[in-house]
């Protein structure tokens, strides 16, 4: 590549993909290439994709279809598909979309520069050949939230989930490397360190001495000048009492936990291979609330898993009513080829799934708004992230509770911690105003 090369990177999916995109862009830019806003101005278009649900596949395939015309207009344009959908569909991707030049799975993304060179001569498909490599981005896109993967891959094989097939087996990263990167980011002024893993709290069992995730948190908590530590996604089966204690006692760990529940029915949890039941899940929730009474809790829920009956769904509604999550990400079950659940003959009809999903969303939205209402009038510290997307005359800050607050303020405050008085509540967060001395 050379200095005139322009590229456009489109990122889909979870925070792990946001992180991988930082690695990809820093590698591509290290050759002198630079990013452009419009895909039609680019010499290379890179998709970093997700395939967790069918809707994620469709987003990418829809765009790829649109970009066929760009390839006609500029035969030198290179189209790269990276990420989880690349790993899932591999060769099929090029057969279906001949405009694609390079297909590269997540474990090979660190080789993207040499693969792009090869793809200029012939089409390349590069899938899961290598062991996972941990690479820090050579440069980061901002200096507010610093993502650091503590592990890659997943061994859980929840029966609905494609992730273990596309991200491979769990591999933890040595603690020293994680702490060193966190220290470097804190020195650079990052306000928030965000630890990532498909199953972040199964960290360490594959490493010598079997360090635990709670021990890792303790080390990171001790870094000089660190302000906020977050992590996703913990798995309930590995959320042991030492981790509950660590969240409570480590002062820089945000008092906000995202704990995917998936279902409130023990029968469905078993069919999902989640390895916990609702009683064990509730025990963790109560343990966390005992340590930190005001802790913010969020979750993921799947509606319409094969064989889910009205009674199973009612049990999910019950537990949602009981727990009173601050926030939930709620999904209609989407069959993924190759997973065990996709083979179950008893699939729930689409209309029933959607009907249940809307009922759940309605219930949770009311809970989220009511929980946020309770904070109106309080002053919360927030880390200012950007101009508000809804109203660019305002700033958007994130509270420790991981909910956003929009307020009027100067854009020089982006990246700073400020105190904001919450004046009105919504399902998504609050509107507020800067507090005295904020
Ligand atoms: N590793 C994380 C996140 C996995 S994907 C974890 O275990 O929590 C994020 C969420 O997508 C999951 O928590 C689940 O709720 C949802 N999800 C995964 N596969 C799905 C599928 N096939 N259909 C619908 N939702 C799914
Ligand atoms: Fe998927 Fe389960 Fe692994 Fe999460 S823990 S990535 S839901 S298999
Ligand atoms: Fe999607 Fe891959 Fe993340 S499937 S949710 S981008 S791990």
**Distance in angstroms (rounded) separating the CA atoms of residues 201 and 70:** 44
Indicate whether residue 348 lines ligand 2 (CB < 6 A). no
> How far lies 344's CA from each of 308, 335, 339, in Å?
11, 10, 10
Tell me if 269 is assigned to some domain. Answer: yes
- Domain match, 17 and 105 both: yes
Query: Along the 438 residues of the chain, how does pLDDT read in single tens digits?
Result: 555 899 999 999 999 999 999 999 999 999 999 999 999 999 999 999 999 999 999 999 999 999 989 988 998 999 999 999 999 999 999 999 999 999 999 999 999 999 999 999 999 999 987 788 899 998 898 889 999 999 999 999 999 999 999 999 999 999 999 999 999 999 999 999 999 999 999 999 999 999 999 999 999 999 999 999 999 999 999 999 999 999 999 999 999 999 999 999 999 999 999 999 999 999 999 999 999 999 999 999 999 999 999 999 999 999 999 999 999 999 999 999 999 999 999 999 999 999 999 999 999 999 999 999 999 999 999 999 999 998 889 999 999 999 999 999 999 999 999 999 999 999 999 999 999 765
Question: What is the reported pLDDT for 399?
Answer: 98
List, chain by chain if needed, residues with CB within 6 Å of any ligand 3 atom: 13-14, 16-17, 50-52, 84, 163, 166-167
Q: Which two tokens stand for residue 194?
A: 């965000």
Residue 424: domain span: 379-434
Indicate whether residue 261 lines ligand 2 (CB < 6 A). no
Q: Whose CA is nearest to atom 3 of ligand 3?
A: 14
- Domain match, 243 and 289 both: no
Question: What is the reported pLDDT for 294?
Answer: 95
- Domain match, 266 and 354 both: yes
Which residue among 16, 20, 89 is best mutated to probe the pocket of ligand 3, counting the most ligand atoms within 8 A of its Cβ? 16
Tell me if 87 is assigned to some domain. Answer: yes
Tell me if 110 is assigned to some domain. Answer: yes
In CATH, what number is assigned to the domain containing residue 238? Answer: 3.30.750.210
Question: What is the reported pLDDT for 277?
Answer: 98
- Domain match, 247 and 264 both: no
Q: Which domain-ending residue is among 97, 126, 155?
A: 126
Q: Whose CA is nearest to atom 24 of ligand 1?
A: 333
In CATH, what number is assigned to the domain containing residue 81? Answer: 3.40.50.12160
Question: What is the reported pLDDT for 1?
Answer: 56
Q: Which domain-ending residue is among 222, 254, 286?
A: 254
- Closest atom of ligand 2 to CA, residue 274: 2
> How do residues 134-193 score in pLDDT, each as one tens digit?
999 988 988 899 999 999 999 999 999 999 999 999 999 999 999 999 999 999 999 999
Tell me if 97 is assigned to some domain. Answer: yes
Strands 417-425 and 171-172: unpaired
**In sequence order, which residues have a C-beta less than 8 Å from that of residue 131 and are 6 or more positions away?**
107, 171
- Domain match, 38 and 116 both: yes
CA angle in degrees (0–180, nearest 5) for 173-175-180: 105
Start-end of H helices in 67-205: 68-73, 84-96, 112-119, 163-167, 175-187
How many angstroms is it from 382 CA to the middle of ligand 3?
28
Question: What is the reported pLDDT for 136?
Answer: 93
Tell me if 117 is assigned to some domain. Answer: yes
Which residue among 13, 50, 199, 275 is best mutated to probe the pocket of ligand 2, counting the most ligand atoms within 8 A of its Cβ? 199
Q: Count structural domains, the chain.
A: 4
Tell me if 136 is assigned to some domain. Answer: no
- Domain match, 294 and 282 both: yes
- Domain match, 13 and 122 both: yes
Question: What is the reported pLDDT for 139?
Answer: 87
Residue closest to 23 by CA, chosen among 13, 36, 11: 11
- Domain match, 341 and 385 both: no
Q: Whose CA is nearest to atom 12 of ligand 1?
A: 300
- Closest atom of ligand 3 to CA, residue 84: 2
174 membership: H or E segment, kind and range: none
How many angstroms is it from 98 CA to the middle of ligand 3?
24
Tell me if 45 is assigned to some domain. Answer: yes
Tell me if 337 is assigned to some domain. Answer: yes
- Domain match, 286 and 299 both: yes
- Domain match, 109 and 172 both: no
> How far lies 7's CA from each of 27, 163, 241, in Å?
12, 28, 47
Measured over the CA atoms of residue 405, residue 408, residue 413 and residue 414, the dihedral's sign is positive
């Amino acid at each position: 590549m050379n200095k005139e090369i322009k590229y456009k990177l489109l990122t889909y999916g979870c925070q792990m993909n946001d992180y991988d995109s930082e690695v990809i862009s820093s590698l591509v830019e290290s050759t002198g290439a630079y990013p452009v806003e419009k895909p039609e101005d680019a010499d290379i278009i890179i998709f970093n994709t997700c395939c967790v649900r069918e809707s994620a596949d469709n987003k990418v395939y829809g765009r790829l279809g649109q970009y066929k015309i760009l390839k006609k207009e500029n035969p030198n344009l290179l189209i790269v598909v990276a990420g989880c959908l690349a790993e899932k569909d591999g060769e099929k991707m090029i057969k279906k979309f001949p405009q694609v030049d390079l297909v590269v799975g997540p474990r090979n993304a660190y080789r993207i520069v040499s693969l792009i060179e090869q793809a200029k001569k012939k089409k390349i498909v590069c899938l899961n050949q290598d062991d996972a490599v941990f690479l820090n981005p050579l440069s980061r896109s901002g200096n507010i939230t610093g993502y650091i993967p503590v592990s890659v891959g997943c061994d859980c094989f929840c029966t609905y989930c494609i992730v273990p097939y596309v991200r491979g087996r769990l591999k933890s990263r040595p603690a020293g490397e994680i702490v060193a990167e966190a220290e470097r980011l804190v020195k650079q002024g990052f306000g928030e360190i965000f630890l990532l893993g498909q199953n972040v709290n199964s960290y360490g069992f594959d490493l010598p001495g079997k360090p635990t995730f709670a021990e890792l948190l303790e080390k990171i908590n001790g870094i000089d000048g660190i302000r906020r530590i977050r992590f996703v996604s913990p798995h309930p089966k590995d959320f042991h009492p030492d981790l509950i204690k660590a969240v409570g006692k480590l002062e820089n760990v945000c008092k906000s936990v995202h704990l995917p529940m998936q279902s409130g029915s023990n029968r469905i949890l078993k069919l999902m291979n989640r390895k916990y039941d609702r009683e064990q899940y509730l025990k963790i929730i109560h343990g966390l609330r005992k340590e930190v009474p005001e802790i913010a809790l969020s979750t993921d829920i799947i509606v319409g898993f094969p064989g889910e009956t009205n009674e199973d769904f009612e049990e999910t509604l019950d537990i949602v009513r009981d727990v009173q999550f601050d926030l939930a990400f709620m999904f209609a079950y989407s069959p993924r080829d190759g997973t065990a659940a996709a083979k179950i003959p008893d699939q729930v009809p689409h209309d029933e799934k959607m009907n249940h999903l809307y009922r759940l969303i309605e219930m949770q939205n009311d809970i989220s708004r009511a929980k946020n209402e309770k904070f109106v009038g309080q002053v919360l510290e927030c880390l200012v992230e950007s101009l508000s997307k809804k109203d660019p005359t305002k700033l958007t800050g994130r509270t420790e509770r991981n909910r956003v607050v929009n307020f009027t303020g100067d854009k020089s405050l982006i990246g700073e911690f400020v105190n904001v008085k919450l004046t009105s509540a919504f399902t998504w967060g609050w509107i507020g105003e800067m507090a005295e001395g904020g």
